[in-house]
Chains A and B, each alone.
Chain A
Amino acid sequence: MTVRPSTDNPVGQLRMVIEERAGRAIARQQYFQGALRVLRPHYLDDTGQVSYTIVNPGGGYLGGDVYALDIEVGGGSSATMTSQSATKVYKTPDEPAYQHSTFRLGPDAVLEYVPDQLIAYRDAHYIQDTVVEMDPSASFLSTEIVTPGWAPDGTLFKYDQLQLRQEVRMHGRPVIVDNLIVRPDDESAPVRSMLFMDGRTHLGSLLAVDARIDAELVAELREKIADALEHIGTMTPANKPESSKPEALFGITLVDGPGLAVRVLGTKTEQIAAALYAVVNDLRARWRDQGPIHLRKY
């Protein structure tokens, strides 16, 4: 058991209240301190969706660091939150690094939380708790990409453990609890590996909660992910040593939000990103007639 650190004195803190004004969403209130801040908003299409980029000027998370985010997206407004760069979690010898986020979505609000990958270094222990309080008419989506850091000798670091917990509540009741424990494979414990990374090194996870999600959509997206992974696979020349790496594995399922959850295990960030953004971009086009999400290319 890891007792959750207090969020009273965070190393970095960010609070935003986003509302719609004259057809465009904008932060009506914004407060940040310490090792978290946000860049000025962008509007990447004509839907009025605001796009904010979170910056961690500290450069990385260390043991005992606590980060606290509280983002409210008011009724009818739409926001995308991304990050400027990967979140790096370094060695945490005593206490884990901890991030607590609260997202509040009003009626018909849209929030896409699509941060860059989390890179875990040797002996890193990280806990991320996210609470989503949403109106049933709102639309929420989040992604996570977890990759191990590279050691100077070119091998991948063995981080200790990551726990990524996301609790979605509607009317105060827990509806979906997406609670993942991630441990790198351990050659001395192949059993565990089969249940954890199954021979792969990189993890992707996506959760979408929206009243329009049903079994038919899940089946369509299953095909889209398979296509995206196949496409990425064929882009790797067959003579590269990477072709000996295991294929990516993925699963998608309907959750009772309604919503859907995706897990991907692979060996490259590009692979995971291709699988997850196939879903993100499909949903953006399907529901809001929006183009692909604007992200840095890997």
Chain B
Amino acid sequence: MPNIPTELDQTELAGLLTVMQLSDSALPTGSFSHSFGMETYQQRGTVDSAASYTAWATGYLHQMAYSEGLAVRLTHDAAGDDDHERIARIDQLLYAAAIPQQIRDAGTSMGQRMNTIVEVAIDETSALRNYRDAIEAHECHGHASVVFALAAAAVGVSVRQAVAAYLMQLGTALTQNAIRSIPLGQNAGQQVLTDLRHVIPEVVDVVFDLDEHDLGASAPGLEIAQMMHETQRARMFMS
């Protein structure tokens, strides 16, 4: 039996609840319409079952360490120093490093939706306000991972928890899409999600082993699948 931690105080509880709200797969960011390249593998027949999807999603989450996972960590760090310039740079690098057009567009559209949600959901901090102003002024593009990290920092959630929660949210959203598109049964879906949950701590470790040079690094096979999706016929997803 693991030790039961001491009870959370009111602030910690508020932080946990905020992260739960922002990690909900029903959060209206538009994630239900993006497969991030998975649909190309489905069309090729290499992702067609719970097992093959779990394998693919495990690889995908490992890849997310370099982009969105690392972006959460770097943004959370910068939010602690209220360093808007660094936050703006992370936003620019993240956008610039999203080479496949559909991934770049997905990042911006989900980022702007996340920004609107957080505006409603979180008491504003100067870091959040500066980022929102920069998006409105088109100095920043907007990315969900940056907004999420700023929100987590605003409510006092630790950087490791923020990274883990964000990755779990990615895994949940993707799995919901796999359940609909492969399709998978609901129980199979929960089994997959359980497997992915066990992968996330490893991915969090990878995130903490990287630096800004690694931000947005991608794998060629995944990028090709994401690019090929642009011309795929009969698509269910926008990416």
Q: List 14 A-B contacts (CB under 8 A).
A: A4-B213, A129-B213, A176-B99, A191-B59, A192-B62, A194-B46, A195-B60, A197-B220, A205-B220, A250-B224, A251-B224, A253-B99, A254-B101, A263-B227
Closest B residue, CB atoms, query A190: B55
Count class of interface residues, chain B: 35 or more
Please report the C-alpha to C-alpha distance between residue A198 and residue B47 in the assembled complex, in whole angstroms. 13
User: B209 — which chain A residues lie within 8 A by C-beta?
Assistant: 1
Please report the C-alpha to C-alpha distance between residue A196 and residue B215 in the assembled complex, in whole angstroms. 17
Contact call B217/A195, Cβ cutoff below 8 A: no
Closest A residue, CB atoms, query B103: A253
Q: Output the residue of A180, A194, A249, A265 with the most chain B CB within 10 A.
A: A194
User: A205 — which chain B residues lie within 8 A by C-beta?
Assistant: 220
Contact call A196/B219, Cβ cutoff below 8 A: yes
Please report the C-alpha to C-alpha distance between residue A142 and residue B211 in the assembled complex, in whole angstroms. 25
Contact call A256/B226, Cβ cutoff below 8 A: no
User: A256 — which chain B residues lie within 8 A by C-beta?
Assistant: 95-96, 104
Please report the C-alpha to C-alpha distance between residue A255 and residue B106 in the assembled complex, in whole angstroms. 14
Q: How far is the CB of B205 from chain A (nearest CB, A)?
A: 12
User: A191 — which chain B residues lie within 8 A by C-beta?
Assistant: 55-56, 58-59
9 interchain residue pairs of minimum CB distance: A251-B227, A177-B97, A198-B221, A251-B224, A191-B55, A179-B217, A177-B96, A195-B222, A191-B59
Please report the C-alpha to C-alpha distance between residue A261 and residue B227 in the assembled complex, in whole angstroms. 10
Contact call B223/A263, Cβ cutoff below 8 A: yes
Please report the C-alpha to C-alpha distance between residue A197 and residue B224 in the assembled complex, in whole angstroms. 10
Q: Which of A163, A176, A203 contacts B220 (CB 8 A)?
A: A203
Please report the C-alpha to C-alpha distance between residue A256 and residue B93 in the assembled complex, in whole angstroms. 12
Please report the C-alpha to C-alpha distance between residue A205 and residue B224 in the assembled complex, in whole angstroms. 11
User: B228 — which chain A residues lie within 8 A by C-beta?
Assistant: 249, 251
User: B221 — which chain A residues lie within 8 A by C-beta?
Assistant: 193-198, 249, 265
Closest A residue, CB atoms, query B100: A253
Contact call B59/A265, Cβ cutoff below 8 A: no
Closest B residue, CB atoms, query A264: B224
Q: Which of A174, A193, A196 contacts B93 (CB 8 A)?
A: A174
Q: Which of B56, B214, B216 contacts A194 (CB 8 A)?
A: B56
The A contact surface, by secondary structure, is strand
The interface of chain A, by Cβ under 8 A from chain B, is: 1, 4, 129, 163, 165, 167-168, 173-183, 190-198, 203, 205, 222, 249-256, 261, 263, 265
Closest A residue, CB atoms, query B224: A251
User: B97 — which chain A residues lie within 8 A by C-beta?
Assistant: 177-179
B10 within 8 A of A: no
Q: A4-B213, A177-B215, A179-B214 are contacts. A194–B96 as well, Cβ < 8 Å? A: no
B195-227 CB contact bits vs A (8 Å, 1 = yes)?
000000000000001110111111111111111
Please report the C-alpha to C-alpha distance between residue A177 and residue B211 in the assembled complex, in whole angstroms. 15
User: B95 — which chain A residues lie within 8 A by C-beta?
Assistant: 256
Closest A residue, CB atoms, query B47: A194
Closest A residue, CB atoms, query B97: A177
User: B55 — which chain A residues lie within 8 A by C-beta?
Assistant: 190-191, 194
Closest B residue, CB atoms, query A255: B99
Please report the C-alpha to C-alpha distance between residue A4 and residue B210 in the assembled complex, in whole angstroms. 12
Please report the C-alpha to C-alpha distance between residue A203 and residue B101 in the assembled complex, in whole angstroms. 20
Please report the C-alpha to C-alpha distance between residue A168 and residue B220 in the assembled complex, in whole angstroms. 19
Closest B residue, CB atoms, query A215: B101
Q: Output the residue of B92, B99, B223 with the most chain A CB within 10 A.
A: B99
Contact call A249/B213, Cβ cutoff below 8 A: no
Q: Which of B58, B63, B96 contacts A174 (CB 8 A)?
A: B96
B230 within 8 A of A: yes
B237 within 8 A of A: no
Q: How far is the CB of B188 from chain A (nearest CB, A)?
A: 18
Q: How far is the CB of B193 from chain A (nearest CB, A)?
A: 17
Q: How far is the CB of B187 from chain A (nearest CB, A)?
A: 23
Q: How far is the CB of B48 from chain A (nearest CB, A)?
A: 13
B148 within 8 A of A: no
Closest A residue, CB atoms, query B102: A253
Q: Which of B58, B60, B101, B225 contacts A255 (CB 8 A)?
A: B101
Please report the C-alpha to C-alpha distance between residue A198 and residue B228 in the assembled complex, in whole angstroms. 14
Contact call B92/A173, Cβ cutoff below 8 A: yes
Closest B residue, CB atoms, query A181: B217
CB within 8 Å of A: which of B44-98? 46, 55-56, 58-60, 62-63, 66, 89, 92-93, 95-97
Please report the C-alpha to C-alpha distance between residue A12 and residue B22 in the assembled complex, in whole angstroms. 50
Please report the C-alpha to C-alpha distance between residue A129 and residue B213 in the assembled complex, in whole angstroms. 9
User: A193 — which chain B residues lie within 8 A by C-beta?
Assistant: 221
Q: A191-B55, A256-B104 are contacts. A180–B217 as well, Cβ < 8 Å? A: yes
Q: How far is the CB of A2 from chain B (nearest CB, A)?
A: 8
Please report the C-alpha to C-alpha distance between residue A176 and residue B92 in the assembled complex, in whole angstroms. 9
Please report the C-alpha to C-alpha distance between residue A105 and residue B53 in the assembled complex, in whole angstroms. 45
B6 within 8 A of A: no
Please report the C-alpha to C-alpha distance between residue A183 and residue B219 in the assembled complex, in whole angstroms. 8
